[in-house]
Amino acid sequence: MPAEIGRLTDIGLGKESTRLTAQGSADIWLQWSSASYNDEIEEVQNESAVGVINDTIDSQVAKQMNSGSLESIVGIDTIDPFLQSVLGTVSTATDSPEAGVNTDTYTVSQDNTHPTYTIFGKDGNETVAIPGALFGSFSLSASQNSYVTVSADFTANPSQDATVSPSYTSETNFISRHVTVEFANDEASLDDSGLTTVRSVDLSIEPNVEDEDALGSVEAVDRFNTQFTVSGSMELLYDGTKFRDDMLNATKQAMRLTLKNDQVTIGSSTNPEIQVDLNKVKFTSREVSREPNDIMSESVDFTAHYDLGDAKEIEVTRIYTP
């Protein structure tokens, strides 16, 4: 095959009907900006002594797997498989908030078997289906004068040959002007809170994925998400001591991150929107940058917690055209 650049690669995602069993086709084809997927092995070494100083006399493949990472500009449609895999549960309200517009609500499924996906990869040398992918180390990032991006690592079973027909559709994306951040004393007050001036924000979700290996199999027989962790960071104009005081006093805050493209109308009067609510955030570190010739800024790290009163830690809503 002739040499080719990476952007000629097609990458698709298909939600699996049966865990760790490859789907026949992709539900969506990613408009990706960075991608890797590679088959890997774990070897066992025969280190038996045979009267020489050489350390091994053989090796065997004990496990076959695939792992990698995907990054793309946040699209109103392509964000869906990442959220389903990482959070676990989605419910759909049709014709809401108006006819022809749906609202999906993603919540944390309190189990260890969040949905798995088949990742499809097609380039000039191979076309593969990679079954059993479970996303981990999910990150949503927004910074000044840039597109909002989503990235996630994955672990999966080894690839297998496939036949696919990539097909792309136009979708709404989000840039920095579409991003707002809000804080309030509790989630119920977020609707009435004021906006916080933020230069950048990163939200990280870690499902802590583990393989279930078993005797008699060279591949994982299942793949589990375990403890669930949400954290993040942001950079802001240094214009007060709120975040210092909240950090020192362990003050609870609810946080809302909204992506709303007001340049696009769906239905008659609705804008495509992704909204992330964190019910209980506490600030864990804060550092002021004091460069002599620059306007001072502060960097703040936070950790989200499960709120016993609200009985949740995070909820994401997506408003889109089905």
> Could you tell me the residue ranges of all domains in the chain?
6-39+65-320
Whether the predicted pLDDT of 276 surpasses 90: yes
State how far the Cα of 321 lies from the Cα of 160, in Å rounded to an integer.
Answer: 34
Which residues are within 8 A (CB) of 160 and not within 5 positions of it... i.e. 6 or more apart?
Answer: 22, 128, 129, 130, 131
Residues in Cβ contact with 138 at an 8 Å cutoff, skipping those fewer than 6 apart: 82, 86, 150, 151, 152, 204, 205, 206, 207
pLDDT > 80? residue 1: no
Which residues, other chains included, contact 112 with Cβ-Cβ below 8 Å and sequence gap of 6+? 224, 225, 226
CA angle 11, 228, 212 (to 5 degrees): 65
Sorted by sequence, the CB contacts under 8 Å of residue 52 that are 6+ apart come out as none
Mean pLDDT of the chain: 97
pLDDT tens-place string over residues 97-139: 999 999 999 999 999 999 999 999 999 999 999 999 999 899 9
CB-CB contact of 70 with 236 (8 Å): no
Q: Is the pLDDT of residue 40 over 80?
A: yes
Residue of 76, 102, 92, 100 lying closest to 267 (CA atoms): 100
For residues 98 and 116, what is the distance between their CA atoms, to the nearest angstrom?
A: 31
| pLDDT tens per residue, range 200-252 | 999 999 999 999 999 999 999 999 999 999 999 999 999 999 999 999 999 99
The answer to whether the beta carbons of residues 257 and 230 sit under 8 Å apart is no
Residue 53 CB: number of other CB atoms within 10 A? Answer: 5
pLDDT higher than 80, residue 179: yes
pTM: 0.95
Please, what is the Cα angle at 14 between 8 and 15, to 5 degrees?
A: 155
Under a CB-based contact definition with an 8 Å cutoff, are residues 173 and 75 in contact?
yes
